Structure 1
Amino acid sequence: MKKKINHAQKTIEGEFVKLKEGYILDAATGKPVDGRNPEEEVRQEYEKILHENYAYDYKQMDINVQIRRGAKKQKGKIDYADIVIYKTTDKSKRDQHRDVLGIVETKRPNKREGIRQLMSYMSATSCSWGVWTNGKEIEYLYKDLETGEIKRDFIYQIPSKGETFEDIGRLSKKELKPAKNLKPIFRRILYTLYANTNISRREKLGSEMIRLLFCKIWDERYNLDKIPKFRLGFKDKPENVKKRVLELFEDVKEELVEDGVFDKNETIIIDAKSVMHVVGELEKFSLSKTNRDVIGDAFEVFAESKFVGEKGEFFTPREVVKMCVKIIDPKPHERILDPACGSGGFLIYALEHVWDIMDNSPKYKDHPKLDTLKKEIAEKYYFGIDKEIDLVKIAKAYMSIVGDGKGNIVQADSLKSPKDWSPKTKTLFSNADETLKQFDIILTNPPFGAKIKIIDEDVLENYDLGHRWKKKGEASEEKWKITGTVKKTEPQILFIERCLDFLKPGGRMAIVLPDGIFGNPTDGWVRQWIKDKAEILAIIDCPPETFMPHTHTKTSVLFLRKWDGVKKKNYPIFCGIVKKCGHDARGNDIFKIIEEEEILDEEFSEITQNFLDSNDRIVKGFNRKGFTLYEGKLKNGILIPRYYNPDTVKELENLEKSGKYELIPIKELIDKKIIKLRGAGSTVSPTDYGSGNIPFIRTSDISNWEINYDATHKVAEDLYYKFKEKQDLKAGDILFIKDGTYLIGDTAILTKYDLRILVQSHFTIIRCLNEEKLDPFLLLFLLNIPIVKKQIDEKTFVQATLSTIGDRLSEVILPIPKSKELREKIAKETKERIIQRTKLREELKNTFFQ
């Protein structure tokens, strides 16, 4: 995965250097390289693998190394190898005919050409092995140093530092080392198998990998002094490797068939060569010794290959999981459930949190059977449910690595009635009367999405939140009341109720939910129901990138404690607004440097600490990384922290204190009839596109405060006249994008040249009714200053599949300069620039068509 760093980088000599935009320092040599280049991304990732997983010293490596091809004493063609690994760190020993150990080629995405190039480098040097990879696929090449013959499909792994090929596969199980960077290895396995195996459907590879991973895990658990069966010896035959793996799988099934992980007739179906490739990539690592973050990330490569986005399931980023666990703070002997457990991340981190408590508690740390107690905790107190069998298998594998607990993870639909569950699921999760068993803690990220609504009335009728709710009046203080009619409902809403049903009175819960639930007026009934059933402990506002690149859905994390007795009023709610999640929209990690140490650039951990440092959720001070709201003072029941952003409040207060600005809400301007807001009102069918020459202005057709008169789509004149009177466009009207995905708050002002158009319904039209009191060009300017754009963003919520600011636009506060001279100057200069550009556009158009 590409790594970004927000500051200057440290060279291998320990000095910090400033780099050109997009450049990074090569990990091995310290040379500046263009980090925006995808091929550079592959090279940097593989250098890290060579260092962390194979123990090669960075000083043994060099990049862009000249390789002269041809006879030793003759001048031949010169090419440049991507990575060369030398036999020693001695930089005086760099002769290509004596000192080269291995070569890695990463710069050619075409596999055939890349391997041809690599083979030519190997022939011209003393190297005994080569690697070709494009970041997705990988192939290993072997050179017989006696004959010079280069062989493909002969080795499936390279030696670590100090090893020979003969040493590979000879390590005992206890000598296996933890892996530091498994995710790229798993990703390459997936793509290599997809391109080369006998299985044509990619999603089936996930199931095959689960089987192989269980074989690997099983092999590591017993007879630690022996050589693993999950190994690949030098010159081993593919059939022999697969035979050993199949023997392991029979042992795995013997234990796990009853547990529902595998069927008794199930087998490994990928071809022997593919099995050999997987074994070669993983044989030297111990999964049981590997850091849990690494294991979780690696497992999700296979889970994501089948499940991401397909049914609203998006895997929870590790930083979010850690935050939830630390805030909920599970204790030993508390029963924990994730009813949408996916690959098991919440359960694993909760278990390790509890184990850490035990390691440091006087009650447990000196206990002679501490390891046994830990295993009992995993087996008795950790439970998971997921609808997808392959995810269940991954979660079981994950729990097996950590220390068992796999028996309490089952395949089932959490939302269905216990009467529809399997006997084992009923035993674990329901009582004899088919009521739900209850747990101390729920940690979950349920499937979410407006496109995957639950429509089964037999399911919906079991939920309050599966019914229609109505208000007697429109006032925000009016209470919602349930009706007797069920309605199609998003799964995340039903999961809220199911989770609270699973929770004991006084039990604690963390759930990831889309933002719309927390703020949309139409979802007020959900918020009312939640507050009736539980105390809101905290809400953490996550940045849009949190679940990217898989979905741009904006989320927050809700922390609850189920009411146990008297329901409190006006209690404190801890709030935090995260702006940095540790990765960008493409999923690339972003780092920062603190005291010369490179760490993930995220704010979840800081906000978590602020919660832990608070006095029962009451925070001293007022900033976005930790502040207190009170339940009785929520505006219109809105639970979105950024809606109350303390930083914005302070910024507006400072503007007012300066004495230079008058802070006026847009609603006040409307009430005083200074401006008017109305909808655009027209809807044009895509079938009408291209039917004429009238520009149909969509949200993508405005930029730089102007409309694009040469719009993407144009419609017939009769449609224009149909909507002309209703739209009633005038010069000076401001088009404001009110809903959509990314462009909310963008604006354009209409001039006399722009009136023969139709406007999409995603716009609000703002008209100045009293230009002496507020010039439209001054208003346009004010709508685009940072403090106003910030408010617009904070008051924009997701409704169904679109984001919208809705009526909350009227709450936006405009800092209007008190100086009449300044107001006039801003209006005059804004108008001149826009009119000048628009006039030039018209002159050019008229000249061209004369």
Structure 2
Amino acid sequence: MYDLTDRQRGLIAMGIKEKLVKVEDGRIYYLIQKKSYDFTDPEEHVRAVTYIELVMKYKYPPHRIDFEITPPRREPKLPADIVVYKDDYKEKPFIVVECKATSSKADWEVAKREGLGNANLLLSEWLLVVCGEEEAVYYVKDRPSLAKLEEFRRAELPIAYGNVPRYKYKKGGEVFEELRKTTLNELDNKFSRCHDIIWEGGKRDPAEAFDEMSKLMFAKIYDEKFTKVGEYYRFQVGTNEDAFTVAKRIKELYKEVQEKEPEVFKEDIKVSNEIIYEVVKVLQDVSLTKTDLDAKGRAFERFLGKVFRGEFGQFFTPREIVDFMVKFIDPDYTELVIDPACGSSGFLLYSIKHIMEKASKEYNEDTSKEIVWEFSHRNVFGIEINDRIARIAMMDMVIHEDGHTNIECNDALEDYENFDPRKDIKPNKYHVLLTNPPFGARIKASVKPYFKKYELAKNEKGKIKNSEMSEILFIERCLDLIKPGGRMGIILPDSAFTNKRYIGVVNFILSKARVLAVISLPQHAFIPFGSMAKTSILFLKKLKDDEKVGDYPIFMAHVEKIGYDATGRPDRNDLPKVLEEWEKFKQDPAKYPLNKEISPELWFAKVMFSQLGNKLDVEAYGREYMEILERIMELEAKGFTVLTLEDVTKAIFPGISPSKDDYVTDERNGIPIIKTGSVIKVRDRIGIIDWQKLSYVSRDKYGKSKKFLQKYDILVQSVAHSKDYIGDKVAIVDNALVDTRPTLALSKFLIVRPNPKKVNPYYLFLYLSSEYGQRQFKHYIRGMTAEIYEFDLKNLLVIVPPKDEQDRIAENFLKTLAEIFKLKDELRLCKEKLTHEFNKILS
């Protein structure tokens, strides 16, 4: 009913037991004071807990405590939430308390201003400000101004009007002395406040500020872990301690951290004593080791996203995608996991979290903890080239209490002998690899000696290229790292799947691994993190030695909703639905449908390995294509002949690509060329060549071309600025003039030359214009600027009915075509007649 933290719930229970309070019907009754207030108000939770602490922890008599006390002359009237008096008559205020529900920066400012105003008017000696679960104590007897209030801060209130203790927080102390667990939102708020303090309003680079914050957080965690029971924590501000004293102690603490973890931070703390002092004040009351692992991990992720979204955005993979990929690949307890481009170590941390959840369901608590410790310290490995990001990865791992020493700061593409031998990074070792490698960086052979050792650094003739994109070499390194039978999930730009020049890369992948799944991510997946690249996730299983691959099904998914939009704001997340479908697919691939559309934003496909060719892009296997493929398979099962386009043609080739200077205006000295504007689209992609709209190219240059058209050649528009216009115009060369006057076509067309012995040319023309041809054209599109190529188009499936049926279809078309030409001539005559009449009137 009431949204209380565990600590608040425990203290309220204590107050009820001691008959200080009673909670009933949404109200809290303060039994000694005989007052009641609305307990559904979160601020009342804070006041109630503070009251109980004043009585139980600080030993103040409850009959000397009152609520809602308005000081004289206070305008506007802003009563003090709690006042503790020195006397039984409640005439001498000793402590004024101001409470707020949350610990936002704005709440702190308002609480301090209102609280100090009341304390001064009531002539109180002490001010206690409590925001959410955070508190600050001030000795205000000398009436400090608001601007100087922080100079009067103390570690703790006096107990029963006595002397102030030097330190407050003690390991293994009473419930009031021990550090408390915190929540996701409060920790998020504290991290941001610390960073703002260190950043100093822009005086430091955000990444440099984070470096300094990491050093202090390391010191904090070290203090929590290694302070002995019964001793006071060192990471706190004692009463009357100045910045120099606190900073000196924290720097000594950090020196111990450096000695224990020399690889994590090699540099000393650089920020001023005053900044250290302020950060310690923010973090001193909470425990980073006790706080829920998921809460502190998510708070750290949020914080990283805010700090590094710009310059370092490429090093961070969104939590929604990381979580999805880990669950999809499903690492097991004993498996070794590596991320060779680990960034902030998201995949490693979520793998640990996955094992933690798995173990908690299958084993008792002690065994589960042992399994998680073993996995997190011995089974996860990361490589990160950027030293600053590598430190962040280690910090993230430490926050999650795991083995950060397995992070190597190095170039993952380096020769294995150049890795730290203690990490033992080597090929064929890891069971699971999850990664989001860097995109778009070009690696040059002249700069990196290791370049020439990569198979994908060679061209189709086996010669070393001058350079290659980093993501391409990463594919090879990743496949090399996992052991035979090992699994990997890798995020890649779609260009690695679709570009013509990367066909060899796809063939390389297919020769080394079995494709488990391909998941197409939306265009906006990485926009909030500084990248516009359209990406997909490729899941692979490395082939075992001498493993022979037969035909097998591949799971594909297209997903648009992934938990956030292009601005980073929360949105629906369909990735869990993709996981559900993957489980169904695994249970019985044979029964899984070829195509399953939940909505245009979420659909699935089952593609057989034999259907892949060398196309791994999910968009090629959309509903329209898969439906046509299913129809063709059904017709084949009913006895229809199905052949490839290559089977029924003599040749398939592109037209020519003349330069601007190759065109001539003199028809007599030029060679006719059909351009896209020369083809008039009649209807439904069917085109007719307008022989009056030809251009001409130089006879001297193209007179000996081997691409002259022949009668019955079919022209297919193969290049366009948009996928929608591929195959938009399909025309047949039906003019016998091409036999007497050589004619060419522009390279925006693919020329399909039918074999009349295998297929009627007019039937093939109509087939390619129909949805059976058009949907297959869309499947074969490559590149971000749409294009289809002859080496793909040759695989297009053609339903070939008996010869007499083809001839009948062709004859009907020719009759229709003749009627079209007749109507076209009549229309031309009408236009000429109308023009003549107008001219006659005008004259």
Taking structure 1 as the reference length, the TM-score comes to 0.57
The corresponding residue for 2:31 is none
Contact 1:455-1:489 at 8 Å conserved across structures? no
Do residues 248 (structure 1) and 253 (structure 2) align? yes
Q: Which amino acid aligns with 2:592?
A: K
In 1, the alpha carbon distance for the partners of 2:219 and 2:74 equals 53
Contact 2:497-2:617 at 8 Å conserved across structures? yes
In 2, the alpha carbon distance for the partners of 1:459 and 1:807 equals 35
In 1, the alpha carbon distance for the partners of 2:623 and 2:288 equals 45
3-state SS of 2:323 partner: helix
The corresponding residue for 1:630 is 608
Shift of 1:502: 0.5
Q: 2:541 aligns with which of 561, 573, 577?
A: 561
Q: Which amino acid aligns with 2:216?
A: L
Q: Which amino acid aligns with 2:623?
A: P
The corresponding residue for 2:429 is 438
3-state SS of 1:544 partner: coil
Contact 2:42-2:101 at 8 Å conserved across structures? no
Shift of 1:195: 2.1
3-state SS of 2:562 partner: coil
Q: 1:467 aligns with which of 430, 438, 458?
A: 458
Contact 1:545-1:581 at 8 Å conserved across structures? no
Relative distance call for 1:281 and 1:302 in structure 2 (3 A) is: same
Contact 1:543-1:579 at 8 Å conserved across structures? yes
Shift of 1:562: 0.1
Shift of 1:297: 4.3
In 1, the alpha carbon distance for the partners of 2:445 and 2:47 equals 53
In 2, the alpha carbon distance for the partners of 1:180 and 1:115 equals 18
The corresponding residue for 1:390 is 388
Q: Which has the higher contact order (CA 8 A, sep 6+)?
A: 1
Shift of 1:354: 2.1
Do residues 207 (structure 1) and 211 (structure 2) align? yes
3-state SS of 2:316 partner: coil
Structure 1, 342-351 or 152-161: larger mean CA deviation: 152-161
Unaligned stretches of 5+ residues in structure 2:
4-40, 52-69, 84-94, 121-126, 173-177, 632-644, 662-718, 726-746, 750-770, 794-843
3-state SS of 2:324 partner: helix
Shift of 1:383: 1.2
In 1, the alpha carbon distance for the partners of 2:130 and 2:438 equals 40
Q: Which amino acid aligns with 1:154?
A: E
Q: 1:144 aligns with which of 115, 140, 144?
A: 140
Contact 1:460-1:487 at 8 Å conserved across structures? no
Q: 1:578 aligns with which of 554, 559, 578?
A: 559
In 1, the alpha carbon distance for the partners of 2:389 and 2:152 equals 28
The corresponding residue for 2:786 is 805
In 2, the alpha carbon distance for the partners of 1:103 and 1:443 equals 42
3-state SS of 1:284 partner: coil
The corresponding residue for 1:499 is 478
The structure with the larger Rg is 2
3-state SS of 1:498 partner: helix
The corresponding residue for 2:574 is 603
Q: Which amino acid aligns with 2:526?
A: F
Taking structure 2 as the reference length, the TM-score comes to 0.57
Relative distance call for 1:487 and 1:797 in structure 2 (3 A) is: farther
| 1:126-152: CA deviation from partner (whole Å, max 9, x where unpaired) | 6958899xxxxx999979377363244
In 2, the alpha carbon distance for the partners of 1:389 and 1:125 equals 51
Contact 1:178-1:286 at 8 Å conserved across structures? yes
In 2, the alpha carbon distance for the partners of 1:369 and 1:74 equals 61
Shift of 1:527: 1.0
Relative distance call for 1:124 and 1:505 in structure 2 (3 A) is: same
Shift of 1:442: 0.7
In 1, the alpha carbon distance for the partners of 2:167 and 2:381 equals 39
Relative distance call for 1:462 and 1:369 in structure 2 (3 A) is: same
Q: 2:522 aligns with which of 530, 543, 559?
A: 543
Give aligned pairs, total. 572
In 2, the alpha carbon distance for the partners of 1:307 and 1:798 equals 34
| 1:754-811: CA deviation from partner (whole Å, max 9, x where unpaired) | xxxxxxxxxx999xxxxxxxxxxxxxxxxxxxx9xxx99x989995xxx433449x99
3-state SS of 1:183 partner: helix
3-state SS of 2:464 partner: strand
The corresponding residue for 2:504 is 525
Contact 1:142-1:152 at 8 Å conserved across structures? no
Q: 2:378 aligns with which of 344, 366, 380?
A: 380
| 1:817-842: CA deviation from partner (whole Å, max 9, x where unpaired) | xxxxxxxxxxxxxxxxxxxxxxxxxx
In 1, the alpha carbon distance for the partners of 2:239 and 2:655 equals 76
Percentage of identical aligned residues: 27
Contact 1:443-1:509 at 8 Å conserved across structures? yes
In 2, the alpha carbon distance for the partners of 1:123 and 1:317 equals 43
Contact 1:519-1:637 at 8 Å conserved across structures? no
Unaligned stretches of 5+ residues in structure 1:
1-10, 13-49, 61-69, 89-96, 109-113, 133-137, 431-435, 470-481, 591-600, 655-666, 684-735, 746-763, 767-786, 812-850
Shift of 1:556: 1.2
3-state SS of 2:208 partner: helix
In 1, the alpha carbon distance for the partners of 2:248 and 2:165 equals 21
In 1, the alpha carbon distance for the partners of 2:321 and 2:153 equals 35
3-state SS of 1:240 partner: helix
Relative distance call for 1:342 and 1:51 in structure 2 (3 A) is: farther
More helix by share: 2
The corresponding residue for 1:180 is 184
In 2, the alpha carbon distance for the partners of 1:640 and 1:615 equals 21
In 2, the alpha carbon distance for the partners of 1:156 and 1:148 equals 8
In 2, the alpha carbon distance for the partners of 1:185 and 1:797 equals 51
Relative distance call for 1:678 and 1:805 in structure 2 (3 A) is: farther
Q: Which amino acid aligns with 1:176?
A: R
| 1:562-587: CA deviation from partner (whole Å, max 9, x where unpaired) | 00132323311111222112122222
In 2, the alpha carbon distance for the partners of 1:631 and 1:57 equals 66
Shift of 1:219: 1.6
Contact 1:572-1:617 at 8 Å conserved across structures? no
Relative distance call for 1:57 and 1:323 in structure 2 (3 A) is: farther
Relative distance call for 1:580 and 1:289 in structure 2 (3 A) is: farther
In 2, the alpha carbon distance for the partners of 1:744 and 1:71 equals 75
Structure 1, 346-355 or 315-324: larger mean CA deviation: 346-355
Shift of 1:395: 2.3
Aligned-pair RMSD on alpha carbons? 5.3
Contact 1:540-1:575 at 8 Å conserved across structures? yes
Structure-to-structure mapping, 1:154-303, within 5 angstroms: 154=150, 169-170=168-169, 172=171, 175-181=179-185, 182-195=187-200, 200-222=204-226, 223=228, 226-233=231-238, 235-257=240-262, 260-263=263-266, 266-300=267-301
Structure-to-structure mapping, 1:573-722, within 5 angstroms: 573-590=554-571, 601-615=572-586, 618=589, 620-621=592-593, 622-623=596-597, 624-634=602-612, 637-646=614-623
In 1, the alpha carbon distance for the partners of 2:210 and 2:627 equals 51
Q: Which amino acid aligns with 2:574?
A: E
Contact 1:570-1:632 at 8 Å conserved across structures? yes
Q: Which amino acid aligns with 2:550?
A: K
The corresponding residue for 1:411 is 409
Shift of 1:366: 4.4
The corresponding residue for 1:834 is none
Q: Which amino acid aligns with 1:325?
A: V
Q: Which amino acid aligns with 1:447?
A: P
Shift of 1:500: 0.6
Q: Which amino acid aligns with 2:199?
A: Y
